[in-house]
Structure 1
Amino acid sequence: MSFTAGSLYRDTGNFFRHQLLTIVLMSLLTSFITVLIGHALTPGPDQLSLLTEGDAGSGMSLLEMVQNMSPDQQRVLLRASAAGTFASLIGNTLLLGGMLSLIPMVSAGQRVSALRAIGASAPTLPRLLLLVFLMTLVIQLGFMALVVPGLALAVLLSLSPVILATEKVGIFGAMRTSIRLVWSQMKVVSPAVAVWLLAKVAVLLLASSMTVLPANVASVVLNALSNLISAILVIYLYRLYMLLR
């Protein structure tokens, strides 16, 4: 296979630069949708105030704190966590679908807006949503067991969304094909996924310096930055898969 990681980086950078405005708008739009859904589903301030009651003390592990909560506090915590997870899942799926529609349409010479790209991905969104959920679940379980299995799964499954969107295969077929292809191209895929993960961590650390902004505005900005990072990785992986085909 006559390509290198360097050529893929340059190709990714060129595409990102030429479609910067569309990708930024898509990142902001999906970020706004994520924050809006999360805000709508999260318990109100009166319910969240229950979490600060009692002795949820310092020095306890997270598991001990949850065990020491009252049933009402546990229900509020579960609902808040589920709201954040669901909102993030929807936002990530819309971003993935939009990017996986944008790239081939632009490559075919079409002028595409962020809304049109997301709209064009509508037929694949249900399957993509289920795939993103399964990938997130498996990777999180890997990180809970040990960090290394989580990293390995994140790398091996990284091509699954691209395969699902471009081939007539099922969800598990896309995951199996991704594992097989990535295993043979580990040196090309793993550095990109590792940089993506580190950039995500950097965005989380940036959150502590954005306390001057209103909470919702800061959430939209941080989610948009995170989406931009993910969009770059999607471009890279899509270009790689096209070459592997």
Structure 2
Amino acid sequence: MSFTAASLYRDTGNFFRHQFVTIVLIALLTSFITVLIGHALTPDISGLADGNSGSMSLMEWIRTMTPEQQQQLLHASAAGTLASLVGNTLLLGAMLCLIPMVTAGERVSALRAMGASAPMLLRLLPLVFFMTLIIQLGFMALMVPGIIFAIILSLSPMIMTAEKVGIFAAMRASTRLVWGHVKVVAPAILGWLLAKVLVLLMASSLTVLPANVTSVLLNALSNLVSALLIIYLSRLYMLLR
């Protein structure tokens, strides 16, 4: 079947428009869960900053801490990472259930989509973890490897859930499949990364709101961007199959 990126964008936009309320609710629910987990697991680190910390670099600031303070900061970082990992997995699972159910003509609520995703979450969680780890390592080494990893691994969740294969088999299959259609995958991934950066930049304009409210709203907006990408990639994989 022949297709173009433009036709995929139209399909994605039509699906998003018709399921807008459901997708927004999924984004808000997963955002709320992410913030709730992060708040529950993160220790209070407000006392770690002092009057001179603002003039120091991050590494210098960490070196001035006591071992107990460094452990507390590591705990907070791990809690935030875990909360983000769980939230991303919940969003991915709900969207991967919503798309085929709606395509089959069913009326699906946000709670039903999230409930239907429960059996696949334990399989998706390690996949999301390994994908995030590989992509983050790529960004730490150089930005270009991180972008390349994000592109070639992008179809892994769709392959794993549709073909019932393992994590690394899904990653290998995604790499092979994406290389043959990189022209329709790469622009979507680059647009997604740019939108994520713009969402982060918006944080400075929401300082008038309480911190938890700001976190929920920004996470929800970020989830909406990710939901658009999941719809696009899912539609692409349906066509490729």
User: TM-score scaled by structure 2?
Assistant: 0.97
- RMSD (CA atoms): 1.2
Residue in 2 aligned with 1:184?
180
Residue in 2 aligned with 1:49?
46
- Match among 41, 55, 58 for residue 58 of structure 1: 55
Residue in 1 aligned with 2:32?
32
- Pairing of 1:62-73 with structure 2 (within 5 A): 62-73=58-69
**Cα gap change, 1:59/1:43 in structure 2, threshold over 3 Å: closer, same or farther?**
closer
Q: What amino acid maps onto 1:58 in structure 2?
A: S
- Which segment drifts farther, 68-77 or 199-208? 68-77
Q: What amino acid maps onto 1:5 in structure 2?
A: A
Partners of 1:126 and 1:68 in 2: CA distance: 40
Residue in 1 aligned with 2:112?
116
- Pairing of 1:191-206 with structure 2 (within 5 A): 191-206=187-202
- Match among 211, 229, 233 for residue 215 of structure 1: 211
CA contact (8 A) 1:161 1:174 kept: yes
- Pairing of 1:131-146 with structure 2 (within 5 A): 131-146=127-142
Q: Helix, strand or coil for the counterpart of 1:43?
A: coil
Q: What amino acid maps onto 1:196 in structure 2?
A: W
Cα shift at 1:53:
4.0
Q: What amino acid maps onto 1:217 in structure 2?
A: V
Residue in 1 aligned with 2:10?
10
Cα shift at 1:123:
1.2
Cα shift at 1:64:
3.2
Cα shift at 1:56:
3.9
Partners of 1:176 and 1:54 in 2: CA distance: 50
- Pairing of 1:103-182 with structure 2 (within 5 A): 103-182=99-178
Partners of 1:108 and 1:184 in 2: CA distance: 28
Partners of 1:195 and 1:174 in 2: CA distance: 23
**Cα gap change, 1:14/1:131 in structure 2, threshold over 3 Å: closer, same or farther?**
same
Cα shift at 1:49:
3.2
Q: Helix, strand or coil for the counterpart of 1:111?
A: coil
Residue in 1 aligned with 2:94?
98
Cα shift at 1:67:
2.6
Partners of 2:219 and 2:2 in 1: CA distance: 36
User: TM-score scaled by structure 1?
Assistant: 0.95
Deviations 1:55-109 (A, max 9, x none): 546243x233323321011011101111111101010000000000000000001
Where does structure 1 lack aligned partners over 5 or more consecutive residues?
Answer: none
Cα shift at 1:211:
0.5
Partners of 1:107 and 1:49 in 2: CA distance: 48
Q: What amino acid maps onto 2:48 in structure 1?
A: L
Q: What amino acid maps onto 1:26 in structure 2?
A: I
Residue in 2 aligned with 1:241?
237
Partners of 1:56 and 1:216 in 2: CA distance: 24
Q: What amino acid maps onto 1:16 in structure 2?
A: F
Q: Helix, strand or coil for the counterpart of 1:232?
A: helix
Partners of 2:68 and 2:239 in 1: CA distance: 53
Where does structure 2 lack aligned partners over 5 or more consecutive residues?
Answer: none
Partners of 2:8 and 2:97 in 1: CA distance: 19
Cα shift at 1:111:
0.5
Residue in 2 aligned with 1:79?
75
Partners of 1:158 and 1:79 in 2: CA distance: 29
Q: Helix, strand or coil for the counterpart of 1:24?
A: helix
